Structure 1
Amino acid sequence: MAKREKVAKTNAMRELERGGVAYTCQAYDADGEDLSSGVGVRISEALGEDVDSSFKTLVTVTPSGGHVVCCIPVAEELDLKKAAAAAGEKSLSMMHVRDLEAVTGYVRGGCSPVGMRKPFPTLIDECAQLFDNVGISGGRRGLSLRLDPLDLAAFTKAKFADICR
C-alpha cells in the first residue's frame, strides 16, 4: 500500500478543524500556474471536479474602505451591483491584487474565504446550495478544499445571495 503524501496545513485547514467542519483536500501542481482568466475552470477540470460546484474567492472594497468577500462559481463573473445590494452597501469595487495579501493573508490564486487575517462580511452565490459539497481554495496555490456549502456559510457567517452576472 502506497504511503499517502502529507499536505502542510494552511490557515484555512486549521480554522475548519478548530471549528469542527469536515472537509477534504486535494493538491494539484501549481508550478508555472497561469493566473489569467479561466484558471479556476482549468484547475477544476484537472482535479475532476464539477466546474459548477467549484468556487473562487474575490475580495471587494466598500466606499468606506471596508471589505466584503464574495464566493462565486469559477466560470462566472461577479455582479458588483448585486453584491453591493446583498451586502447592504451603496457600491463595491474589486480589491487591487497588490492589497490582497496585506488584507487577507492570502496571495492571488490561493485566497480562501476561511482563515483570513480577520473576518469580513461574506457572500456566497446562492447556487452553492444546489450542491452537497463545493470546492474552495485551500489557502495557497496548489490546494483545493471541498466541504458542505451550508457548513461553509455557517462557519464564515456568510449570506447566500444572487451575486453573479
Structure 2
Amino acid sequence: MKIVKTNAMRLLEKEGIPYTHHTFAVNPEGTSPEDIAAQIGRPLELIFKTLVTVGHSKANYVFCLPILAELDLKKAAKAAGEKNIELIDQKDLLKVAGYERGGTSPIGMRKLYPTFLEKTGLSLSQIIVSAGKRGHQLELSPRDLLAVTQGTAVDLLAETRSIF
C-alpha cells in the first residue's frame, strides 16, 4: 500500500515533530466519530476536529476542539479579538485552508492562520487531528500542535445545558 504524505505530515517531519499516522475507511454517507475511534483503535476523547472561521474583520481563524464538542462562537470571537466570528462557507474551505471538508488539518494550511486549541486538550498527552486528507489522522502532543501552528490554548467550549 502506498504511503500517503500530506502537507501536515511533511511539515511535522520538517520540524522534527513526532507523530503517529492513523487511517480509517471513509464511508461515502459519512463516518461517525465513534467509527473513526473504533477503526483507529484510540479513545474518542482524543479525537479533535478542526474548524475554520471568518471574523468580522474578514480574517480567518482556526479552532481545534474535541470532536463531539460545540464551539462557542462568542468565546471564539473573544479569543481572536473579533467583534463576532462564524464558520466559513464550506465552498470556501479548499480555497482558504487548502483542505477539503472532512480532511481539514490545523497543520500545513495555505497560510498560517491564528490557531486556537481547546484548553482541555493540554490535559492529554496526545490528541488526534486530521492529517489533511479524508481517512487519515495524526496523533501528536497537544503542545507540539501548538508549537507547529504557533497556536494558543483557550476555553472554546459551548456550555451544555440540561433540559431538566
- Taking structure 1 as the reference length, what is the TM-score of the superposition? 0.91
CA distance in 2, matches of 1:33, 1:8: 23
Partner residue, 1:88: 81
- Give the deviation of 1:60 after TM superposition: 0.6
Letter paired with 2:35 = R
CA distance in 2, matches of 1:19, 1:33: 36
- Give the deviation of 1:47 after TM superposition: 1.7
In structure 1, the gaps of 5 or more residues are: none
Identity value in percent: 42
In structure 2, the gaps of 5 or more residues are: 159-164
Q: State the Cα RMSD in Å.
A: 1.2
- 2:152 matched to 1:156? no
- Three-state SS of the structure 2 residue aligned to 1:43 is helix
Letter paired with 1:160 = A
1:30-64 CA-to-partner distances (Å, cap 9, x unmatched) read 142516xxx33431233221111110000010111
- Checking the alignment, whether the CA contact within 8 Å between 1:40 and 1:56 is kept in structure 2 is no
For 2:113, which of 106, 120, 130 is the aligned residue?
Answer: 120
CA distance in 2, matches of 1:156, 1:75: 22
CA distance in 1, matches of 2:29, 2:42: 18
CA distance in 2, matches of 1:124, 1:55: 9
- Three-state SS of the structure 1 residue aligned to 2:153 is strand
- Checking the alignment, whether the CA contact within 8 Å between 1:41 and 1:75 is kept in structure 2 is no
Letter paired with 2:3 = V
CA distance in 2, matches of 1:85, 1:41: 31
CA distance in 2, matches of 1:143, 1:47: 10
- Taking structure 2 as the reference length, what is the TM-score of the superposition? 0.92
Partner residue, 1:12: 8
Q: Which segment drifts farther, 5-14 or 92-101?
A: 5-14
For 2:49, which of 46, 53, 56 is the aligned residue?
Answer: 56
For 1:30, which of 26, 45, 52 is the aligned residue?
Answer: 26
- Give the deviation of 1:27 after TM superposition: 1.1
Letter paired with 1:124 = L
